Amino acid sequence: VAPPSLAAGIDVGGTKCLGVVITPDGTVVREEKWPTPRGGDAIIEVLAELADALRPWDTLGAGVAGLVSRDGVLRAAPNLPGVRELAVRERLSAKLGAPVWVDNDASCAAVAEWRFGVAQGAHEVVLVTLGTGIGGGHVVEGRPARGANGFAGEPGHMVVDPNGPPCVCGGRGCWERYASGAGLIRFAREAAEGGRLDRAVDLAGGEVEAVRGEHLRAAALEGDHDARVVFDLFAWWVALGLVNLTNLLDPELLVIGGGLAEAADLYLDGVRRHVGELLYAPSHRPHPRIEVAHLGERAGAVGAALLANFPDG
């Protein structure tokens, strides 16, 4: 399905709104990056101004982190404090005098990777965005699978340990407490406190509490054994969730996106190996391919621009 001639998409994140305008072949012809304001009313204002700054365009879509129902209402958004039950589609459409399509940001990213990125031609794709938390999107035969209400694809809150650490959602032991940036830092500090991460602690100025992803990554790139052990533990937890998703959905391709995709060279092989070990009946089935997303931080905005191709949800 070819998009209209100029399609605009805006990715509304916790800190920034990234807007793009793309041509039918996916070429980005305009781009704007604005800070995300606080509060629902301010977000609608900024989205309308950003949409105007991106003109001319023929269609407009928005991808938002959180639970977006099929009628374009942002029901709950853990990364946008105080924002809930925000009628993004209706209010933005009224301001602009044009139809607007709205979906979850990771679902948008999955659509974008299927259309222009690493998942082109794949029949069944699951994308997970590993960042501060975890988002997810599922594309079947080129269409986003949205579930009964639009809420499908929230793998970050699959419970992988009911006795695990508390989660922003109110539950415990959600996958995103482990396979996210926050999880990686927790593993690093636990290793550091046990005296098993000396090089990364050195790089952090000698303070265990100061250890960040950049120190862990730098140590691992130097070949530091302890840092690599932490990345392997992280890879195991990523694999655990991907195996749960594979047992449920049987995708041919799993795509890793989000901020942590940039460090995938340090854990992707481990993820592939652990998925091979943890998968149900591994010797009696093809294993899903596991690849890193190609579209980087633009994936959500490009996918939002494609939403007009799926008007009936």
Binding residues for Zn ion, rule: CB under 5 A, are 157, 167, 169, 171, 174
Q: Which residue has the tokens 């392997």?
A: 232
Nearer of residues 166 and 296 to Zn ion, judged by Cβ: 166
The least CB distance from residue 106 to Zn ion, in Å, is 15
Residue 91 or 157 having the CB closest to Zn ion? 157
Residue among 76 and 185 whose Cβ is closer to Zn ion? 76
Please give the Cα distance from 116 to 151 (Å, whole number). 24
- Output the smallest distance, CB 173 to Zn ion, in A: 8
Of 145 and 168, nearer to Zn ion (C-beta) is 168
Per DSSP (E only), the strands in 192-257 are 253-257
Farthest CA pair distance, the chain = 60
Least Å distance between CB 133 and Zn ion? 8
Which lies closer to Zn ion via its Cβ, residue 72 or residue 153? 153
Query: In terms of CB distance, is 124 or 161 closer to Zn ion?
Result: 161
**Minimum gap (Å) between residue 100 Cβ and Zn ion:** 29
Cβ neighbours of residue 34 under 8 Å, at least 6 residues apart? Answer: 16, 17, 19, 46, 50
CA distance 209 to 116: 40
Please give the structure tokens belonging to residue 256. Answer: 């890793």
Q: Minimum distance from CB of 134 to Zn ion (Å)?
A: 9
Residue 15, number of CB atoms within 10 A of its CB: 8
Please name the residues in contact with 284: beta carbons below 8 A apart, sequence gap of 6 or more. Answer: none
CB of 158 vs Zn ion, minimal distance in Å: 9
Number of other CB atoms surrounding residue 34 within 10 Å: 15
